[in-house]
A and B are shown apart, each in its own frame.
Chain A
Amino acid sequence: GENVEQHPSTLSVQEGDSAVIKCTYSDSASNYFPWYKQELGKGPQLIIDIRSNVGEKKDQRIAVTLNKTAKHFSLHITETQPEDSAVYFCAARLGGTSYGKLTFGQGTILTVHP
């Protein structure tokens, strides 16, 4: 089955710096890659996603890049703010169909220091 590896497990940055979280996946047929932000005691919130026919997508301070050849995708957060502190999960859609289940990475605890 699909396997998603996420690094780093923890990331600490100063406010205003950039943060990058990387994920690799094993199933080359995967075609959808979302990123979720989870605050303590809450459910995950979809913050950005990318499909396999696109190499990069940006939404204000957040961007995601996808390298299908290398089977890895990354989340980039610029001008980080303390409210960006949370756990971030990457995921990949298994099997290359729009109805497959998501496989999640292990999560990254991001801490932004004021």
Chain B
Amino acid sequence: GAVVSQHPSWVICKSGTSVKIECRSLDFQATTMFWYRQFPKQSLMLMATSNEGSKATYEQGVEKDKFLINHASLTLSTLTVTSAHPEDSSFYICSARGDITHYEQYFGPGTRLTVT
């Protein structure tokens, strides 16, 4: 299957700072990327959908000014958590669907964010 990478795999930041998470499709061009958030022992919660070169579409209840998403190229999307607070601590996972994988959606390994 197609490979999606994320960086970093884990990050600890102080409250009030911003942190950026990168998501890359390694062997295909990702026309659409998705960002999910997952709490312990829970399912995946979609935060936003982004198409290359377009503004992201955020799900209801997700603050677009707090979770900045950029999908500037067909292989890279970034999620920036601005002015992070402890309640933003979570497991963030990106996913990508591309020109070859029209139906299939592949996930990255996730990023564990801890805000102290």
Within 8 A of A (CB), among B89-114: 93, 102-110, 112
Q: For the complex formed, measure the closest distance between the CB of B23 and the CB atoms of chain A, giving whole angstroms.
A: 10
Q: For the complex formed, measure the closest distance between the CB of B26 and the CB atoms of chain A, giving whole angstroms.
A: 14
Contacts of A36 in B (CB 8 A): 107
In contact, A32 and B103 (Cβ under 8 angstroms): yes
A-B contact count (CB 8 A): 45
In the assembled complex, B54 has its CB within 8 A of some CB on chain A: no
Residue of B nearest to A45 (CB): B107
In contact, B44 and A101 (Cβ under 8 angstroms): no
Q: For the complex formed, measure the closest distance between the CB of A6 and the CB atoms of chain B, giving whole angstroms.
A: 8
Contacts of B6 in A (CB 8 A): 43
In contact, B104 and A46 (Cβ under 8 angstroms): yes
Contact of A89 with B44 at beta-carbon distance under 8 Å, contacts A42-B110, A44-B93, A46-B1 already known:
yes
Contacts of B43 in A (CB 8 A): 89, 104-107
In the assembled complex, A98 has its CB within 8 A of some CB on chain B: yes
In the assembled complex, B49 has its CB within 8 A of some CB on chain A: yes
CA distance A92 to B44 in the complex (A): 13
In contact, B102 and A98 (Cβ under 8 angstroms): yes
Residue of A nearest to B45 (CB): A104
In contact, B105 and A43 (Cβ under 8 angstroms): no
Contact of A98 with B103 at beta-carbon distance under 8 Å, contacts A43-B93, A104-B43 already known:
yes
CA distance A106 to B44 in the complex (A): 8
In contact, A49 and B109 (Cβ under 8 angstroms): no
Q: For the complex formed, measure the closest distance between the CB of A106 and the CB atoms of chain B, giving whole angstroms.
A: 5
Proximity bits, B64-101, A CB within 8 Å = 1, else 0? 00000000000000000000000000000100000000
In the assembled complex, B115 has its CB within 8 A of some CB on chain A: no
Q: Besides A43-B107, A43-B108, 15 other CB < 8 A contacts?
A: A32-B103, A41-B112, A43-B109, A46-B1, A46-B104, A46-B106, A46-B107, A49-B103, A89-B43, A101-B46, A102-B46, A104-B44, A105-B43, A106-B43, A107-B42
Residues on A close to B: CB < 8 A? 32, 34, 36, 41-46, 49, 51, 89, 93, 98-99, 101-102, 104-107
Residues on B close to A: CB < 8 A? 1, 4, 6, 32, 34, 42-44, 46, 49, 93, 102-110, 112
